[in-house]
């Protein structure tokens, strides 16, 4: 059975949601306190949502200094899958594991809603075989506007590092479909190797029909399948 580590920082609150969703996908999980993280023996790692250190200074800016990040980098450099959702995406960007940064939403409003995204890359263990599909997931963030310098934006697009892009009800990447003002409607990215992925929406919150959708489970199923187990979920 695949073993997945879930990191917990002061202020993290989506760790148990991920543990539940991953159990539905057939994985064994363990929630690890950030000061004591040792990832030997784990097959993948999750950096979940919340408000690490209260998002003081800037979302993810303090969490990136945690001893857990050094261990997470080592884990990722070994080719192991890492997923950061919402605050986890912010932390991965602040730590330099993904390009760009997440800033205050356009309009300075906290957005809590369901959004549509087009999967732009299937070169990750989370999106294998899903390229071009439109999925629907919930968001809940105040600092989800992805920004980067012009050269970085050009590189991200040229190298196919955009994994998820906000779209409207017709599947077009328009301003109407962009909930936070992210440059180029970016909702999620990968690193060059494809094993580190971050996104602002919450796949763990759409893992069962009772929650309003199961598209998040499609990502988690593919992760578990890539680790050599058989997914057993409602969303495949």
Contact 12, 200 (CB under 8 A): no
Q: How high is the pLDDT of residue 201?
A: 98
Per-residue tokens: 170: 């017709």
Q: Which of 120, 143, 145, 202 is catalytic?
A: 202
Q: How high is the pLDDT of residue 107?
A: 86
Domain residue limits, the chain: 3-226
Q: Cα–Cα distance between 21 and 39 in angstroms, integer? A: 20
Give percent of the chain above pLDDT 70.
Answer: 97
Q: How high is the pLDDT of residue 39?
A: 97
pTM over 0.85: yes
Q: How high is the pLDDT of residue 169?
A: 87
Q: Which of 86, 93, 145, 206 is catalytic?
A: 86
Q: What are the pLDDT digits (tens) for 117-133?
A: 999 999 999 999 999 99
Query: Could you confirm whether 86 is annotated as catalytic?
Result: yes
Query: Could you confirm whether 94 is annotated as catalytic?
Result: no
Query: Could you confirm whether 206 is annotated as catalytic?
Result: no
| Helix (DSSP H) and strand (DSSP E) numbers for the chain | 5, 11
Q: Which of 94, 120, 143, 204 is catalytic?
A: 204
Can you name the CATH fold of 3-226? Answer: Rossmann fold (3.40.50)
Please name the residue ranges forming H helices in the chain.
15-24, 67-77, 87-94, 150-158, 215-226
Look at 37-46, 55-64, 68-77, 99-108 and tell me which has the smallest mean pLDDT.
55-64
Q: How buried is residue 185: exposed, middle or buried, by Cβ count under 10 Å (0-12/13-18/19+)?
A: buried
């Amino acid at each position: 059975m695949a073993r997945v580590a879930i990191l917990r920082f002061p202020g993290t609150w989506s760790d148990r949601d991920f543990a539940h969703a991953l159990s539905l996908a057939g994985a064994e999980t363990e929630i690890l306190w950030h000061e004591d993280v040792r990832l030997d023996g784990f097959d993948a790692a999750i950096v979940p949502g919340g408000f690490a250190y209260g998002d003081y200074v800037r979302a993810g800016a303090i969490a990136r200094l945690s001893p857990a990040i050094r261990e997470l980098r080592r884990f990722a450099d070994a080719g192991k899958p890492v997923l950061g959702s919402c605050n986890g995406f912010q932390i991965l960007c602040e730590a330099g594991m993904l390009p760009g940064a997440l800033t205050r939403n356009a309009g300075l409003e906290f957005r809590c809603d369901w959004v549509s995204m087009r999967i732009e890359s299937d070169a990750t263990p989370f999106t294998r075989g899903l390229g071009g599909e439109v999925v629907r997931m919930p968001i809940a963030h105040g600092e989800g506007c992805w920004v980067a310098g012009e050269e970085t934006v050009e590189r991200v697009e040229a190298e196919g590092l955009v994994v998820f892009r906000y779209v409207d009800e017709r599947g077009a990447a328009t301003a109407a479909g962009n909930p936070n003002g992210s440059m180029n409607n970016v909702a999620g990215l990968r690193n060059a190797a494809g094993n580190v992925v971050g996104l602002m929406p919450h796949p763990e919150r759409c893992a069962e029909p009772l929650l309003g959708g199961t598209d998040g489970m499609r990502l988690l199923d593919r992760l578990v399948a890539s680790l050599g187990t058989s997914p057993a979920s409602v969303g495949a």
